[in-house]
Structure 1
C-alpha cells in the first residue's frame, strides 16, 4: 500500500542533505555517462567496418582469369586464361551445396538514350542469382529471370540513377531504351544502398550480352556466395579448393598466383571479426571498469550515509520504528537517487553522442550510438549494487540498541 508519509520523509531527507545526495548522484551519473559514450564510440567503429563492405553479400568469392607466370605441362608463360559459361557450371556441379548463389559476369560500358536524354553507364551481363549477391532491391517491375537467359531476351533492369537521368517522372517499365544502337525493353528498376555508383548500372541477361557483344561464350569473371554456415577458415579453404580445381582444369601450375586469382570476402571478414572482437573486449573492460568504479563509489557513499545517520536510526528505534522500516527508508532513498542520476547520465551521454557524432566521421566513427537496453541494464546494475551496499550497513545499524546508537560519535 502506498505510504505518502514514507515518501514525504524520504524526499525531505534528500532535500536536507543536498550535498550528500548530489555526491551520490554524480558518482552514478558520471559512470553511466562514460559507459554510454564508450559503447557509443565502439558501435560507431563497428558501423564504419560494416560500411566498408557495403551492402554486398559478406560471403562472396570472386574468381578472375589472368595470365600464366610459370610454364606448365609444356605450355608457355604468358598464356591468357579465358573463362567460359561452362566454367560456372563446372563449379556449380562440383561443389554443390557449398555454393549458395553463383553467376557469370560480363562487364561492358554503353551509351544509353531515351527521348533525347543520353548518358554513359556500366552494363553488366549477369544471371538472375546476381540480385542476391549484390543485394539489389527491385523498386518496380522485375529482375532478370531464367527465361531471359534461355531465350537471350533483349531486356534490361536499370538502376534508380539511370531512371532519374533518362526518364525523370515517367514510368520506365515497358519502355525501350537505346543501348549503343540497339533497343532494349526496360522490365525493372532496382535500388542499391551503396548509392549512385551502384545505381548507375544497367543489367541484362548474360546470354544476351555474350550474343550481342561478340557472339561467343566468354565471360569476364565468376562471382559466387558460399554457404553462410561456413566459418571463416572453412570459407578460405573452400576458396583455395576452387582455385586448385580451376588451375587443374586450365593446366596451370598450382604455385602460379596470377593465372587464376581469387578474392575471398572471408579473409576480410576474418580480419574485421578479429578487430571487432578486440575492440569489444577493450571497450567491455573499460566500460565495466567504469561501472565497478561507480559501484565502489556509491558503496562508499552509502556506508558513510548509514554511519552518519546512526543517531537518527537510534531516535527512530526509540520512537518505536521497526528495523524493517529503517532499512526500507535508506534503501528507497538510495534507489531513487541512483535511478534519477543514472537516467540523467544516460540522457547526457546520448546527447553528447548526438552532438559530436557528425564530427567523428573524419576519425572513422560513423553514427555512434548505444542501445537503451544496454545502458538501462548498466543503471540497474548500479542501483542493485547501491541497494546491496546500503542494505548491509543499514541492517547492521538497525539492530543496534537505541542507547548505543544515540551515543555514537
Structure 2
C-alpha cells in the first residue's frame, strides 16, 4: 500500500493518460456533486417547514369562537359565540388527562410609550402556561407568574424587538412602559424562534387585562397543549371531541364549521411528516440513481482503461510481474482516482450550498445543507464501486497469457 515505487508508477501512468484520468474523475466528481446538491436542497425544504412550525409548540391547540352559520334547536343563525371564564373551567374538567398546559387569552392592540419612543404592539393577556405554547425563551428576567395573576399585577414580559424598538441598546428590565395610558413594569424579555413578528408581542397577566377590558368575564380564545404522550392520531381525536363538546355546550349545529374553530398543530405536523417522508424517498431514489449512473460510468471507463493497457500488462507479465501485482496496481490507481474525485465533488457540492445560502429562501429552500456522514457514505460507496469496477477487468487481464496480450491490437 505504501510502496513508493508503486505510487510513482501510478502517478506516471496518470500523467501519461491525462484525458482518461480526467474523464473517469469527472464522472465520479459529478455524481457526488449532484448527490450533495440534491440532498442539500431536500434538507433546505425540510428546514423551511421546520421554521414554519418553530413559533409554536408542536402539540399546541388553539380554540377560537365565531358566528353561527346554521340555525339549531330553535336558535337562528348569525349568533356570535362568546367564550367566558366558565368555558375554561368546563374544558379543564372535561379533559384533565389530555391537557398539559392551558391558558385563556385576551388580545388587544395598544400604543406603547417609553419616554420619547413609541410604537403600537399586540398585547396578550395570558396565564403563565401560555409561554410553552409560543415556545418563548426568556433571555432576561422572567415570564409572568401565578402571583401576578392573583394580584392582577401591572407587569409585562416583552419581546426582544419591543425592547430594541423602545430602549435601543439599553435594558428594559425594571422600567415602566405606558400602554394606552396605564403604566406597566417590565419583568422579563423573551426571544421567540418564530421570528420577528413573535418577538413584537407583549404579555400581561390575564386577570389584569380582563379586569380592565372585559368586565363580563369574556375571553377571546383559548390556547393549550395536549399531553405529549398522545400519538398524532390520538391528539386529532382529542381535538375533534373537544370541538364536539364545545358545540354541544353552546347549542351549535355539529355541521357548523364557523362557530367554533379548533386548530390543532398535530394535523399540520402529520401533514409535514408525510410530505417529508415522500420528499426523502424521492431524493433518496434520485440520489441512488445518481450513484448508480456514477458506478456504471466508472465501470465502463475501467473496462476501457484495462483493455487499452492490455499490451502493457502483457509486457509486465513477460518481465515477471505476478497477476496479483498487476491487479493490485490497477486497483490502487482506481481507488486513488475515485477517492480524489469523490472528495473534489463533495467539496464543490458543500461550497455550492454555502454559496447559495439564503438566496433560495424565495423558493422555500432555507439553509440548504447536507450532513457530512451522508456524502461521505456516498463517496465510500463510489470508492467501493470503483474498486470492484477495477478488479473485475484487472483480474481478467491478469489471467491473459503474455503472448496473447502482446499480440493484442
Query: TM-score of the superposition, structure 2-length normalised?
Result: 0.92
Match of residue 266 from structure 1: 266
| Conserved? CA contact 2:42–2:280, under 8 Å | yes
Query: What is the CA-CA distance between 1:107 and the residue it aligns to?
Result: 0.2
Match of residue 289 from structure 1: 289
Match of residue 309 from structure 2: 309
Match of residue 334 from structure 2: 334
* Separation in structure 2 between the aligned mates of residue 224 and residue 328 of structure 1, nearest angstrom: 67
SS in 1 for 2:95: helix
* Separation in structure 2 between the aligned mates of residue 223 and residue 296 of structure 1, nearest angstrom: 57
Query: What is the CA-CA distance between 1:287 and the residue it aligns to?
Result: 1.8
Match of residue 129 from structure 2: 129
Match of residue 111 from structure 1: 111
* Separation in structure 2 between the aligned mates of residue 212 and residue 226 of structure 1, nearest angstrom: 30
* Separation in structure 1 between the aligned mates of residue 91 and residue 350 of structure 2, nearest angstrom: 50
1:136-158 Cα offsets, whole Å, 9 max, x none, are: 11110001122222222221101
Query: What is the CA-CA distance between 1:125 and the residue it aligns to?
Result: 0.7
Query: What is the CA-CA distance between 1:54 and the residue it aligns to?
Result: 4.2
Matches within 5 A, 1:7-406: 7-406=7-406
* Separation in structure 2 between the aligned mates of residue 116 and residue 400 of structure 1, nearest angstrom: 92
Q: Which deviates the most, 130-139 or 96-105?
A: 96-105
Match of residue 407 from structure 2: 407
Query: What is the CA-CA distance between 1:251 and the residue it aligns to?
Result: 2.4
Q: Which deviates the most, 15-24 or 320-329?
A: 320-329
* Separation in structure 1 between the aligned mates of residue 42 and residue 167 of structure 2, nearest angstrom: 43
1:40-66 Cα offsets, whole Å, 9 max, x none, are: 222222233333334322332211112
1:196-242 Cα offsets, whole Å, 9 max, x none, are: 32222210111111112234422111112223454443332221111
1:12-59 Cα offsets, whole Å, 9 max, x none, are: 111111111111101101111211222222222223333333432233
SS in 1 for 2:91: helix
Q: Count residues with an aligned counterpart.
A: 409
Query: What is the CA-CA distance between 1:346 and the residue it aligns to?
Result: 1.9
| Conserved? CA contact 2:55–2:195, under 8 Å | no
Structure 2: runs of 5 or more not aligned: none
RMSD, aligned α-carbons: 2.2
SS in 2 for 1:263: strand
1:333-389 Cα offsets, whole Å, 9 max, x none, are: 111101111122122223333344444333332222222221121111111011011
Structure 1: runs of 5 or more not aligned: none
Q: Which deviates the most, 328-337 or 345-354?
A: 345-354
* Separation in structure 2 between the aligned mates of residue 380 and residue 295 of structure 1, nearest angstrom: 12
Query: What is the CA-CA distance between 1:189 and the residue it aligns to?
Result: 0.6
Query: TM-score of the superposition, structure 1-length normalised?
Result: 0.92
- Distance of aligned partners of 1:41 and 1:71 in 2 relative to their CA distance in 1, 3 Å threshold: same
1:313-346 Cα offsets, whole Å, 9 max, x none, are: 3333333333322222111111110111112212
